[in-house]
Structure 1
Amino acid sequence: MIKLDRVWEDTSVLHIHREEPRSYYIPYGDAASARSGKRSRSPLFQTLNGAWKFRYHESVQDVTDPFYEDAFDASSWDEIVVPSCWQTEGYDQLHYTNVNYPIPVDPPYVPDANPAGLYVREFTVREDWTGKQVYTMFEGVNSCFYLWINGQFAGYSQGSRIPAEFNVSGLIRPGTNRIAVMVLKWCDGTYLEDQDLWRFSGIFRDVYLLARDEAHVRDVFIKQDILPDHSSAKLLCELETTGSLDALVLLQDAEGTTVAKGAVRADGRSVITLDIENPVLWNAEQPYLYELFVQDGREVLRFPVGFRRIDIIDSVFRINGQAVKLKGVNRHDSHPDLGQTVPLNHMIRDLKLMKRHNVNTVRTSHYPNDPRFLELCDQIGFYVVDEADLECHGLAVSGDFHQLTRDPDWEKAFVDRAIRLVERDKNHPCVIIWSMGNESGYGRNHIAMAEWTRKRDDSRLVHYEGASRRYHGDADTEALDIESEMYPTLEYVESYGQNPDHAKPLFLCEYSHAMGNGPGDLKEYWDLFYAYPNLMGGCVWEWNDHGIRTQAPDGREYFGYGGDFGDHPNDGNFCIDGLVSPDRVPHAGLLELKQVIAPVRMEAEDLSRGTLIITNLYDFSDLSHLTFDWTLERCGEIVEQGSLGTIQAGPQESVTVIIPFQKAFPDGRCFLTLTASLCESTEWADRGEEIAFAQFEMAAEDSAVQPEQGWLTALRARPVHVTEDGAQLIVTGMDFRHVFDRNLGTFVRISKQGVDMLAAPLSFSIWRAPTDNDRNVHRQWKGAGFHRAGTKVYQVRISEPQDDAIEMTVDFSLGGYMKHPVLHGQAVWRVDGSGEIALATSVKLREGLPFLPRFGLKAVMPAGTEEVEYFGLGPHASYVDKRQSVRVGKYLLRVDDMFEPYIMPQENGSRYGTEWATVTSERGMGLAFHGNTPFSFNASHYSPEDLEEAAHLHQLVKRKETIVHLDYKMSGVGSNSCGPELLEKYRLDEREFEFFIRLRPVFKEDE
């Protein structure tokens, strides 16, 4: 092994020769190029991104060649593109783990077989850099690294997701230079980086050189002092220089007009104060940015300036004097192909997608994101909870969760991560809260972090959830400004909101776990957030699924998760827990979030007169950027539509509007839908983008969606004929032939004009493929035998056939081996002269059972049954606790359109509140279903068993048949994969109930 100081296991050594942390900036040659923000236009910037020579070793002990020396020939090595994660480039082990450390828990020690990646490349320094101070900047290297320039040791650093800068001036020479880097997979810092993510390694963020004058502005800290009435502000520009120089500061508004300037002869530390009259304030809704140019000789630094004031008054969180609700998501740096290397356009795509779904806050879980991400948040408009690169979750499993944060030997490492976070990002207006990390216990070292942070920057709030009063009620939290929680129950949140004695506002840094088919509890949280001023809001866990794009042996592409790559320990698909897929396709959960947190609320006042109340929930914006359009529908058909245009309502104001109906109000059930959409295109969405909607039922005199037609009444009066063939009862009419099996207690054939509509007997169903959020309760379900429940027929009674109807009464139970029956029931089947089958079921559950996943009727329909038409909530899936983003209408789609492609297959695609549905072939031949009350409906080419058995989407084998579920009720989806248990009101927890459904064979084109 080459001779190295073994500092990667020494908590007293965090770096060697690394520069002190500073604010993020790129020096430019003039103001015009600085304003462009394009680094390549700076003569003082040189990228080192690109192809590097690379060699991977399974252990640093195997590194014997002096690869960093000038004379070493690395031409035969592999090439790797920097930035990248070496695991996504084919080296080492792709590994996902959440809580558990991937190494023995023996801090500060790591395995001797510590993988190492060796990087070498040559570069040429520009001739006009002669005489300059040259610095090399590494924006992110996981987990620690050694640096050599031209064979000379230049430095060492650890702390994976925070920058490391080195002055390499004395090592640079004219002409060709060589840079060499050795990256180790693990170091003592690994114990502080146990976040819930793929464990990537390598130089995963940008690397570049900067050329500086001998005396230059090293750091800038922009502070503000805004008068309470916002009539004026002082901008304090603190400069730190490496020598004596003349510095000029210019503040320009968004139009490029200079509004203030100042100059100073700086030497060491200096302050320039600028006075600004009537500053335009920054907020996430109206992200107005000034630009501050710091000119120093031939260098120009540019910083965005957003004037805003953050405070807490009477336990209410405020920005610019206005109470604000944080409508947030947690976001990792994550790319389906590149891992933690995230291109700029990918960041832009994320933020625009968030903005289109009414998200206003991002928590950078659980480390500082790429610095350019914050520039985008400044510009596009987001509040940022900026989090230190700190998590020690694995200690909770191995023993003392607080081991490191209470150990003074680790204080330096803890505080270093706060310092580097704050110093890098202190000039970004988007950053409103500093977070001292995540899930790392709580003790003296966290307090030291928070105290340093508040002393350095008192303009923002300091947060750390690990000090939660639920777990550390007597802890010293004086240095924290916010009470923070993860996944509290609604009862806890409400009790906090109701208590006026709390001095701090409550922030849910994580809530509503969006894993798989979820989350299902958003509305209840937001009802509370809006109800109580001391509730700040929160951040859904989390933004995106962290699947890695890979290929199955047969060449099919899929997104892999923990365990798919032979990684141990792993947490399976727990990384697949986002609102969007890895390639950023929104799940229904994101659509639900968009509607629940919509900045416009629309409520009925007097529907008979068409009067509605519209409330502006924006904190700073009026509604002039939105246009309001309305549609009146009857039975899914448009009756009338129009536009209200723009509406005048200031922030938090309500106004009454009148829908100008022109036509006579129609009979029957009608639905009024009002939408709010963008008037003009923005940076993040096109004109017409829908921001919010509301739907109202206008009248309900007629209970049926489709009133009975005379022709159908006449059909029912036709004669019914009954014959017996052994155990089978054959019921026929003018154009139908149904077969009822006494032994099975159900229909085994339904046909019209000789066309069969069933591919298997009708059956009752209580099982669903467990969702990710069922992961806790589904153990109880299986323990009760729900998954293997089959029908036992006790008795079948046939009524005396009448001319126009016949009834079969079946006493039955559902149960499986080893257990008493889950339920007992009675089913009354009635066939009339139209061929319609009416089912009336009464059910009684055994005591002591958990709530049911579902109860309903399952119909397996023949191959070729592909068309679905229904009246109910759509157009996408909905559940009893996940239905704010759908609206009542008549929808026509394919069976495949109802399927939701979750990475781990699970229950999906149900339509809550269906009133009727028709499932047919392309010719229109199939079954029509009607309920006396709305029911949950699903049509799929996969059975619950198919979905449950498949670990990945590509493993599903599509059936030719169509499986239709007609559910009396289905339990909600909740967020109990990590969040609280499903709310009782969303459980199918009734001990006794009745269910009615009607089935009729149809040829749609003849009706």
Structure 2
Amino acid sequence: MLNLERYWENPHILEVNRQEPRAYYIPYADAASAMAGKRSRSPFYRTLNGGWKFKYYSSVHHIQESFYDSDFDASGWDDLLVPSCWQTEGYDQLHYTNVNYPIPCDPPYVPDENPAGLYIRDFRLEEAWNGKQTYTVFEGVNSCFYLWVNGQFAGYSQGSRMPAEFDITPFLQQGINRMAVMVLKWCDGTYLEDQDLWRFSGIFRDVYLLGREQAHIRDVFAKPELSKNFVEGVLRCELETAGSLTVTAELQDAEGRVCASGQVNADGHAELLLQVREPVLWNAENPYLYELFVSDGRETIHFPVGFRTVSVEDGIFKLNGQAIKLKGVNRHDSHPDLGQTIPLEHMIQDLQLMKRHNVNTVRTSHYPNDPRFLELCDRFGFYVVDESDLECHGLAVSGDFHQLTQDPSWEKAFVDRVERMVERDKNHASVIMWSLGNESGYGANHIAMAKWAQKRDDSRLVHYEGAATRYGGDTDTEDLDIESEMYPSLAYVEAYGTDESRTKPLFLCEYSHAMGNGPGDLKEYWDLFYKYPNLMGGCVWEWNDHGIRAQTSSGEEYFGYGGDFGDQPNDGNFCIDGLVSPDRVPHTGLLELKQIIAPVRIEAVDAGKGALRLTNLYDFNGLDHLSFAWKLEADGELVEQGVLHHVEADPQQSAAVTVPFKHLPTAGRCFLTVSVRLKEEKAWAESGYEIAFAQFDLGGKPAGADQEQVWLDQLRQRPLSIREEGSLITVEGLDFRHVFDTVKGTFVRLSKHNVDMLQSPLAFSIWRAPTDNDRNIKHRWMEEGFHRAGMKVYACSIRKQSGHELEMAVDFSLGGYMKHPVLKGQAVWQIDGSGEVSLSVKVQVREGLPFLPRFGLQITMPKGNELAEYFGFGPGESYIDKHHSARMGKYMQRVDDMFEPYVMPQENGSRYGTEWASVTNELGMGLQFTGANPFSFSASHYFPEDLDQAGHLHELMKREETIVHLDYRMSGIGSNSCGPELLEKYRLDEKAFEFALRLRPVFKEDE
């Protein structure tokens, strides 16, 4: 064992020789190169990213060698790319856990078998750095590390996701230098880093050297200040220098014009004031940035500057004096291959996707993200809730949630985390709130954090959800600027909105848990956010699934989650809870969010006459950057189209518009759709990209419906041949042959021109493969046997028979062993001379049961039935509480394309509000379905049981048959994986209902 000071178990020692925290920057030689921001072109910067020698130990106690000696032979060690997480490189254990600590809960102590990673890097400094102060910066190391340079101990640091900077000048030598680092997997800081994520280790963010003059600019706090009327602006530049310097500051506008400049002699601390007349204000819709260049004549440091104010006035959250809504998501640093090591292009991809889906806010859950991410947020235009690297969720399991925040011996560790975040990120216009962390109890140490943040920076708000009264803890929340909640009920949110005694706005830092097929309750929240001024919006949990790309033994790729790598304890697929997949493919939940938080709302005044009301929901923008295209369709076919001209409405204002279509079609199901699109290309979307849409049902019935009815009525009069053989009743017509089984109480064969349409008997179904948001209710469903419910036939009789018609009544129940039947009903089946089968069913559900997942008809069709055509909400999946991003129309899709590939298979692919559908083979031979009322329709190559039993997509065995569901109703999706229970109006909770369907064998090409 190395003879080391055990800093890793001492909460009083957070660092040794680490520099005081400062703003993030890279010094350059001049303003032009500073503006370009190419770090490698700075003469004062030298990356240490790249290949390091590496050796992994399962325990720090196993290290016997003095690896940090300058002459140590590491040639036999592995090569490891830095930055990286060592778990994604094949070392140690991939491990996902949410609440539970992966170690015994015994703060500040960690297991003696504490894994360690040893890193060695040789580097040479150019002669131009002779005489300079040389610093090394580690932007992120999990969880703590010891540093040696040329065999001499240079420092120690902990706090995984914040920079650590060391002055290594005294340890350097001419020629080759050696840096050695020992990283420990766990330290006392681990108790403060119990976030819901994969537990990665190592040097996972950038490492570099800075060569500075002996006297240099050490820190800059560029604080924009505005007069009450926003006419006058002052940029207050608080400077800290190492040594005596003459410092100049120049502020340029976005067009490169110098609008203010100044100079000051500084020796330690100084201040410069730059006056700006009528500054252009920064906001997420118009992220106008000035460029500040601070120079000492040798080094130039660049900071983008956004003039803006953040305030709470009369309980309302405001930016630049304007009440705004935060349309946010929670975002982890997460990459499917690299873990928490995030490439710049990956960050850009995330932000572009967010912009494309109308997101304007990011909460950096639950730690400061890579510093370059905030630079991107400044320029793309996002509001950022910057969160301290602090979560003690595992203490809730131990029974003392507030243990550490109430312990004075941990105050330094708590405050250190907010201090280093604020100092690093203080110059970013995008940061509008400092967050004190997440789920860590609440007490004196949090209050000390809040007081420190407010004293250091009074231009932003301080947020912490963990002070909510339901958690207990300290009741003193005076130093918190807003009220924050996670996953509250709609009733709570509305009660807050109507409570005039509330002096703080309400922010839902987490709501609408987007796990798997979800969320399904977004609209209800946003109806309230828009209704009440003191509701400032919220952040959906969360942005992306945290799956790790893996391969089966046969080479099949999949995304792994907790438990897939032998990790214990684990929280399974609870990390698969995002709006996008691990490789950033949007889920339908993101499309739903995009439409619900869209910045333009269009409502009908008299849609049949084209009279609409348009509301501009932007906080600052007009509508001149948007175009409004419209189209009129009948039966899914284009009738007329055009563009609305001169559409104008100020922010938060409405205007009347008229769609100038010539006339409504006299036949056909008619819909008017207005598409809101970008006029010009943006950094995040192409010209013509759709921001939002609105669709209006103008009524009507399908063209030719009357003629088809006449034709069908004629066909229905064709003679039938009815033959009974035992329990089977065979019904034949001119071109069809159907068979009904009186024992099974259902049709076992439907055919036309000798083409069989059924692989299995028709069956009633109440079960769906539970979604992630069913994770709580599914236990009650299974207790009542919903998943094993089979059909019992009590009686089956012919009620009516003639030469061209047969009608049978079936008294039945659905239930499973051990329990009383879930429901009882009567199904009336009718068949006529056309070959069409009509079903009318009346159902009584047993009292005392939870709501049903679904009720409908399950049809198993033979191999080859791959084409689905329908008129309903599409083209993607849609549900009763998750269809606002879908449009009514006529769609033709392959069955495979109706499947939604969630990382963990579950109910998916239903089409809500379907009026008719058909499933056929490539030649158009199959079945057509029509409901007396709109129904939910799906077609898949998987039974619900197949989806339920598979833990991953690669475990699904695609069936040749096509399984069709025609549901009277499917219960909604909700977000109860973590959020409130499914709203009652979206539950199939009726105790009595009726359902009617018609099934018709078709040869579409002949009709």
**TM bracket (short chain):** over 0.9
SS at match of 2:529: helix
1:498 aligns to 2:511 (yes or no): no
Aligned to 2:733: 733
Report the CA distance between 1:647 and its aligned residue: 1.9
Instruction: Answer whether contact 1:613 1:655 (CA < 8 A) is retained.
Output: yes
Aligned to 1:288: 288
Report the CA distance between 1:449 and its aligned residue: 0.3
Aligned to 2:188: 188
Aligned to 1:70: 70
Report the CA distance between 1:469 and its aligned residue: 3.2
Aligned to 1:601: 601
Aligned to 2:317: 317
Question: Which residues of 2 match residues 234-273 of structure 1 at below 5 A?
Answer: 234-273=234-273
Question: Which residues of 2 match residues 532-931 of structure 1 at below 5 A?
Answer: 532-645=532-645, 647-663=647-663, 665-700=665-700, 708-931=708-931
CA distance in structure 2 between the aligned counterparts of 1:340 and 1:723, rounded to whole angstroms: 69
Report the CA distance between 1:669 and its aligned residue: 2.9
SS at match of 2:802: coil
Q: Which residue identity does 1:977 align to in structure 2?
A: S
CA distance in structure 2 between the aligned counterparts of 1:307 and 1:555, rounded to whole angstroms: 53
CA distance in structure 2 between the aligned counterparts of 1:957 and 1:579, rounded to whole angstroms: 26
CA distance in structure 2 between the aligned counterparts of 1:679 and 1:470, rounded to whole angstroms: 48
Q: Could you report, residue by residue, the CA deviation over 1:35-91 in whole angstroms, capped at 9, with x for unpaired residues?
A: 001111111000000000000000000111011111100011000000000000000
TM-score normalised to the size of structure 2? 0.99
CA distance in structure 2 between the aligned counterparts of 1:645 and 1:389, rounded to whole angstroms: 50
Instruction: Answer whether contact 2:785 2:819 (CA < 8 A) is retained.
Output: yes
Structure 1 residues 990, 706: closer, same or farther in 2, change over 3 A?
Answer: farther
CA distance in structure 1 between the aligned counterparts of 2:938 and 2:21, rounded to whole angstroms: 56
Instruction: Answer whether contact 1:719 1:833 (CA < 8 A) is retained.
Output: yes
SS at match of 2:311: strand
Report the CA distance between 1:780 and its aligned residue: 0.2
Report the CA distance between 1:703 and its aligned residue: 11
Aligned to 2:169: 169
Structure 1 residues 245, 924: closer, same or farther in 2, change over 3 A?
Answer: same
Report the CA distance between 1:664 and its aligned residue: 5.4
Report the CA distance between 1:644 and its aligned residue: 1.1
Report the CA distance between 1:707 and its aligned residue: 7.0
Report the CA distance between 1:553 and its aligned residue: 1.3
Q: Could you report, residue by residue, the CA deviation over 1:240-282 in whole angstroms, capped at 9, with x for unpaired residues?
A: 0011100000000011110000000001110000110010000
Instruction: Answer whether contact 2:635 2:702 (CA < 8 A) is retained.
Output: no
1:215 aligns to 2:211 (yes or no): no
Structure 1 residues 942, 707: closer, same or farther in 2, change over 3 A?
Answer: farther
Aligned to 1:960: 960
Aligned to 2:986: 986
Q: Could you report, residue by residue, the CA deviation over 1:541-573 in whole angstroms, capped at 9, with x for unpaired residues?
A: 000000000001111000000000000000000
Aligned to 2:510: 510
Report the CA distance between 1:718 and its aligned residue: 1.2
Aligned to 1:152: 152
Report the CA distance between 1:649 and its aligned residue: 1.6
Q: Quote the sequence identity (%).
A: 70
Report the CA distance between 1:667 and its aligned residue: 3.3
Aligned to 2:439: 439
Instruction: Answer whether contact 1:623 1:646 (CA < 8 A) is retained.
Output: no
Q: Give the aligned length.
A: 1007
TM-score normalised to the size of structure 1? 0.99
* Structure 1 unmatched ranges of 5 or more: none
1:16 aligns to 2:16 (yes or no): yes
Report the CA distance between 1:227 and its aligned residue: 1.1
Question: Which residues of 2 match residues 134-145 of structure 1 at below 5 A?
Answer: 134-145=134-145
> Cα RMSD (Å) of the superposition?
1.1
CA distance in structure 2 between the aligned counterparts of 1:698 and 1:817, rounded to whole angstroms: 49
Aligned to 1:114: 114
Aligned to 1:90: 90
Aligned to 1:105: 105
Q: Which moved more, 1:662-671 or 1:546-555?
A: 662-671
Instruction: Answer whether contact 1:635 1:706 (CA < 8 A) is retained.
Output: no
Aligned to 1:414: 414
Instruction: Answer whether contact 2:27 2:299 (CA < 8 A) is retained.
Output: yes
Aligned to 2:450: 450
CA distance in structure 2 between the aligned counterparts of 1:523 and 1:270, rounded to whole angstroms: 51
Report the CA distance between 1:297 and its aligned residue: 2.3
Instruction: Answer whether contact 1:123 1:176 (CA < 8 A) is retained.
Output: yes
Q: Which residue identity does 1:100 align to in structure 2?
A: N
SS at match of 1:480: coil
CA distance in structure 2 between the aligned counterparts of 1:471 and 1:74, rounded to whole angstroms: 51
Q: Which residue identity does 2:931 align to in structure 1?
A: G
Report the CA distance between 1:376 and its aligned residue: 0.1
Report the CA distance between 1:229 and its aligned residue: 1.4
CA distance in structure 1 between the aligned counterparts of 2:976 and 2:461, rounded to whole angstroms: 30
Structure 1 residues 703, 497: closer, same or farther in 2, change over 3 A?
Answer: farther
Aligned to 1:308: 308
Report the CA distance between 1:791 and its aligned residue: 0.2
Instruction: Answer whether contact 1:219 1:239 (CA < 8 A) is retained.
Output: yes
CA distance in structure 1 between the aligned counterparts of 2:608 and 2:574, rounded to whole angstroms: 49
1:60 aligns to 2:60 (yes or no): yes
SS at match of 2:462: strand
Structure 1 residues 279, 990: closer, same or farther in 2, change over 3 A?
Answer: same
SS at match of 2:866: strand
Aligned to 2:354: 354
Q: Which residue identity does 2:615 align to in structure 1?
A: T
Report the CA distance between 1:473 and its aligned residue: 9.1
Q: Which residue identity does 2:1006 align to in structure 1?
A: D
Instruction: Answer whether contact 1:34 1:300 (CA < 8 A) is retained.
Output: yes
Aligned to 2:133: 133
1:80 aligns to 2:80 (yes or no): yes
Q: Could you report, residue by residue, the CA deviation over 1:709-728 in whole angstroms, capped at 9, with x for unpaired residues?
A: 43222111212221111110
CA distance in structure 2 between the aligned counterparts of 1:143 and 1:435, rounded to whole angstroms: 21
Report the CA distance between 1:924 and its aligned residue: 0.6
Report the CA distance between 1:665 and its aligned residue: 4.0
Structure 1 residues 591, 891: closer, same or farther in 2, change over 3 A?
Answer: same
CA distance in structure 1 between the aligned counterparts of 2:197 and 2:260, rounded to whole angstroms: 46
Aligned to 1:202: 202
SS at match of 1:413: helix
Instruction: Answer whether contact 1:722 1:801 (CA < 8 A) is retained.
Output: no
Instruction: Answer whether contact 2:635 2:703 (CA < 8 A) is retained.
Output: no
Q: Which residue identity does 2:791 align to in structure 1?
A: T
Report the CA distance between 1:663 and its aligned residue: 4.6
Structure 1 residues 977, 377: closer, same or farther in 2, change over 3 A?
Answer: same
Q: Could you report, residue by residue, the CA deviation over 1:772-823 in whole angstroms, capped at 9, with x for unpaired residues?
A: 0000000000001100000000000103421221101000000111011101
1:375 aligns to 2:375 (yes or no): yes
Q: Which residue identity does 2:422 align to in structure 1?
A: V
Q: Could you report, residue by residue, the CA deviation over 1:564-592 in whole angstroms, capped at 9, with x for unpaired residues?
A: 00000000000000000000000000000
Report the CA distance between 1:960 and its aligned residue: 0.1
CA distance in structure 1 between the aligned counterparts of 2:161 and 2:708, rounded to whole angstroms: 66
Report the CA distance between 1:683 and its aligned residue: 0.5
Q: Could you report, residue by residue, the CA deviation over 1:588-610 in whole angstroms, capped at 9, with x for unpaired residues?
A: 00000000000000011112321
Q: Which moved more, 1:504-513 or 1:793-802?
A: 793-802
Report the CA distance between 1:28 and its aligned residue: 0.4
Report the CA distance between 1:3 and its aligned residue: 1.0
Aligned to 2:969: 969
Q: Which moved more, 1:695-704 or 1:242-251?
A: 695-704
CA distance in structure 2 between the aligned counterparts of 1:981 and 1:123, rounded to whole angstroms: 58
CA distance in structure 1 between the aligned counterparts of 2:345 and 2:66, rounded to whole angstroms: 38
CA distance in structure 1 between the aligned counterparts of 2:900 and 2:956, rounded to whole angstroms: 13
Q: Which residue identity does 1:544 align to in structure 2?
A: N
Q: Could you report, residue by residue, the CA deviation over 1:735-762 in whole angstroms, capped at 9, with x for unpaired residues?
A: 1100000000000000001100000000
CA distance in structure 1 between the aligned counterparts of 2:141 and 2:32, rounded to whole angstroms: 32
CA distance in structure 2 between the aligned counterparts of 1:108 and 1:467, rounded to whole angstroms: 23
CA distance in structure 2 between the aligned counterparts of 1:934 and 1:474, rounded to whole angstroms: 53
Report the CA distance between 1:104 and its aligned residue: 0.3
